[in-house]
Amino acid sequence: MKSEASSERAIVRVRDGKVVDSAALDRVVVEAPLELRVGGKPLTVVMRTPGHDEELARGFLYSEGMIGSLADLLFVRRPEGLTGDEADNVLDLMLAPPPVSLGGLGKSTAPQRPAFERSFVASSSCGVCGKTSIAQLAITSPLVQSPLRVSRAILSSLPERLRASQAVFRETGGLHASAIFDAQGEPLAAREDVGRHNALDKLIGWALAEARLPLSAGILMVSGRVSFEILQKAIVAGLPVVAAVSAPSSLAVDLAERFGVTLVGFLRGASMNVYAHAERVVD
């Protein structure tokens, strides 16, 4: 049975310092572990909001560099024989073997996929858990190149359009959201999750399955702040514009400058700060 994204809990409701309801009910966002296995072996456990789990798995593998296309992933499925919570919270993935050359020594000429040993819990606020050295944070993706231009008026409309897609947030007030829009501000896809990086991984997994990568004509709008992991995933997905209602970190700004991403923060009404590559933002 598929898990729900929100759950009802009993609360004591206090208003203006007084108990107004000692037996009220409230809906809270569900945070649950998702164990990802590759070839039956544990890879990592991601704390997420249930829903679009296969997209999350595909997007996670893609943004981590474990796959470069949908063809690199043979299947994503629920393992057989699991019961209870495990039945809803485990995914088994199988990667395609790397291509081999038919000539010479028969060795593969394709880039080697990175080896991953990440058998621990990644919290909902953790986007780079499992990295064991600073060198592993290096981004090897190409520069983001796109002729996309977006008007300030369109950018100003995106926060409200993002909120319109946040059905579970309206119930719980406890979810992050990411959405991809086109240059006219029309939504292409939106996802919610207790982890901001999970919401983006779900979008990347959607785009991978829809053969839309790189998203060189897309605008990413996120509900919170922009830090390293959000920019890293946006760069891997080829997104030329990243906008947020809150602040970016210094490293996010540096990455945006370096990789050619237009970075917009504090996007509230007609006000915004453009931190990098402002040439894409036009009247």
Measure the CA–CA gap between 4 and 1, rounded to whole angstroms. 9
Place of tokens 């296309």: 69
Helix 250-259 vs helix 228-237: angle between axes, to the nearest 10 degrees? 20
The closest alpha carbon to 212, from 69, 98, 94, 61, belongs to 69
Respond yes or no on whether the N-terminal peptide bond of residue 214 is cis (omega within 30° of 0).
yes
Q: 149 to each of 143, 184, 249, how far by Cα in Å?
A: 17, 10, 24
Q: Could you confirm whether 129 is annotated as catalytic?
A: no
Give the Cα separation of 12 and 49 in Å (integer).
25
- Among residues 58, 45, 40, which one has the least CA distance to residue 204? 58
Query: Residues 95, 126, 139, 217: which is the catalytic one?
Result: 126
Question: What DSSP character marks residue 272?
Answer: E
What are the beta bridge partners of residue 180? 189, 220
From CA 5, how far away is CA 193, in angstroms rounded?
Answer: 9
Within 13 A of 126's CA, how many CA atoms are on the CB side? 12
Distance CA 126, CA 46 (A): 9
Length of the chain: 283
User: Can you tell me whether residue 66 is helix, strand or coil?
Assistant: coil
The residues assigned a catalytic role are 126
